[in-house]
Copies of this chain bind each other. A is one copy, B any other.
């Protein structure tokens, strides 16, 4: 390459990457953060959702109460339109508290895995331990006949991104039970998907592949899994007693809740932010995902209260059923398609209400580079990246419609201390962290609305 060519590249580089924002953006972002931190409603709204309504298991009465409250709140905040979208959902009931003890009399801390079958009385059987799901997969057919399979796979503590560690183990919960069943096991227990050594088991959803008998399935707290493993090492004949009372009720109709501030220039183009309104039945669904829905609503409310009239229509969507199959996500995307709605961006907050760290973008490289130009605007707020990454479960179906997806990324270290446990309560949410998240989301919505995302930039 000649000097002149290098020089040319340098100048093309510089001009191509000129900031895609305007002079008054820093002040506007500052006003958004100021407002969120002094006039915020997110913390009180989250308190109500967690403490006055409580856990919001798909199909439950609480979930219905939450739907009604969400509609009222969005209307009270003066959004231009508020509506619901019917979502047909299953109804799984945990029933009476589960029981788990060893033949030596040690009681273990346990939760039935969501959508697992009850035991119909007490099961007592020997246990076969596997240190990984892969090891279970390799067990010979029929080798678990009459046994309880135990997958004792820890999340990898070396991964700085705890969601990566979760992803690496989540199969133990989702497909572990059916694999165990296919090899003859009569029940399944697993180490909870948490990083901490504690006494709080983590529930979550499991799959039911066709043609495989469903068996009762349980998650042990990390301490209980450690204990069971020790006992099995001392005596491989240690038996486990298991009892659960899970069952189904008939399907019901539940709802997504959508609130909209209608755009002044492009009312038929949409920028969406959302989270999921449903939660597990233990705890209060505070970080998962009370914070996400409340932050989404708060982001729109902040822009409205600051008299920022958007050019495009802004929506917050409270998705239903994320924990149990994400049917609400499918309904929203289908309806958007059927109505020919053009979504220019969709954002999701479903990684907890912790201190904001950045945004991950699932879009063509050119669009990611365009959005990354805004990084410097967020630096004063201690947010340091806008980069390639996952969007979110509930916005994912919009990808097929060409919508760039944005995941709000808070600090990931504490999430798996509370995720799907009785610890996921309001008290474990910090007000400032929650508010900073809402402000961050409002800020990027503001920037997208103002500057757009060029569709021409593709990889």
A residues near B (Cβ < 8 Å) are 3, 6-7, 10, 33-34, 37-38, 157-158, 160-162, 195-196, 355, 357, 380-382, 384-385, 411, 413-414, 417, 430-433, 436
Instruction: Give chain B nearest CB distance to A429 CB in angstroms.
Output: 11
Q: Are B158 and A196 in contact (CB under 8 A)?
A: no
Q: Are A413 and B157 in contact (CB under 8 A)?
A: no
The residue in chain B whose Cβ has the minimal distance to the Cβ of A3 is B7
Q: Chain B contacts of A157 at CB under 8 A?
A: 37-38, 432
Ordered nearest first, which 8 A-B pairs have the shortest CB separation?
A: A384-B384, A37-B157, A413-B432, A355-B411, A34-B158, A413-B433, A355-B413, A160-B382
Q: Are A382 and B355 in contact (CB under 8 A)?
A: no
The residue in chain B whose Cβ has the minimal distance to the Cβ of A430 is B414
The residue in chain B whose Cβ has the minimal distance to the Cβ of A34 is B158
8 cross-chain CB contacts under 8 A: A6-B7, A7-B10, A10-B10, A38-B157, A160-B382, A355-B355, A382-B411, A384-B384
The residue in chain B whose Cβ has the minimal distance to the Cβ of A158 is B34
Q: Chain B contacts of A196 at CB under 8 A?
A: 431
Instruction: Give chain B nearest CB distance to A27 CB in angstroms.
Output: 13
Instruction: Give chain B nearest CB distance to A339 CB in angstroms.
Output: 40
Instruction: Give chain B nearest CB distance to A237 CB in angstroms.
Output: 32
Q: Chain B contacts of A430 at CB under 8 A?
A: 413-414, 417
Q: Chain B contacts of A432 at CB under 8 A?
A: 157, 162, 195, 413-414
Q: Are B158 and A436 in contact (CB under 8 A)?
A: no
Q: Chain B contacts of A382 at CB under 8 A?
A: 160-161, 357, 411
- A161 vs B6: C-alpha distance in the bound complex, in angstroms? 41
The residue in chain B whose Cβ has the minimal distance to the Cβ of A6 is B7
Q: Are B411 and A411 in contact (CB under 8 A)?
A: yes
The residue in chain B whose Cβ has the minimal distance to the Cβ of A411 is B355
Q: Chain B contacts of A38 at CB under 8 A?
A: 157-158
The residue in chain B whose Cβ has the minimal distance to the Cβ of A417 is B430
- A379 vs B157: C-alpha distance in the bound complex, in angstroms? 18
Q: Are A380 and B414 in contact (CB under 8 A)?
A: no
Instruction: Give chain B nearest CB distance to A121 CB in angstroms.
Output: 39
Q: Chain B contacts of A380 at CB under 8 A?
A: 160
- A162 vs B433: C-alpha distance in the bound complex, in angstroms? 12
- A382 vs B33: C-alpha distance in the bound complex, in angstroms? 23
Q: Chain B contacts of A10 at CB under 8 A?
A: 7, 10
- A157 vs B35: C-alpha distance in the bound complex, in angstroms? 10
- A37 vs B162: C-alpha distance in the bound complex, in angstroms? 12
Q: Are B158 and A381 in contact (CB under 8 A)?
A: no
The residue in chain B whose Cβ has the minimal distance to the Cβ of A434 is B413
- A160 vs B413: C-alpha distance in the bound complex, in angstroms? 20
- A430 vs B385: C-alpha distance in the bound complex, in angstroms? 24
- A162 vs B161: C-alpha distance in the bound complex, in angstroms? 25
Residue from the list B7, B33, B160, B355 in contact with A7, Cβ < 8 A: B7
- A433 vs B433: C-alpha distance in the bound complex, in angstroms? 16
Q: Are A158 and B33 in contact (CB under 8 A)?
A: yes
The residue in chain B whose Cβ has the minimal distance to the Cβ of A412 is B382
Q: Are B160 and A33 in contact (CB under 8 A)?
A: yes
Q: Chain B contacts of A384 at CB under 8 A?
A: 384-385
- A21 vs B385: C-alpha distance in the bound complex, in angstroms? 23
Instruction: Give chain B nearest CB distance to A13 CB in angstroms.
Output: 11
Instruction: Give chain B nearest CB distance to A79 CB in angstroms.
Output: 26
- A97 vs B275: C-alpha distance in the bound complex, in angstroms? 46
- A6 vs B161: C-alpha distance in the bound complex, in angstroms? 41
The residue in chain B whose Cβ has the minimal distance to the Cβ of A409 is B382
- A142 vs B296: C-alpha distance in the bound complex, in angstroms? 53
Q: Chain B contacts of A411 at CB under 8 A?
A: 355, 382, 411
- A165 vs B414: C-alpha distance in the bound complex, in angstroms? 25
- A436 vs B161: C-alpha distance in the bound complex, in angstroms? 12
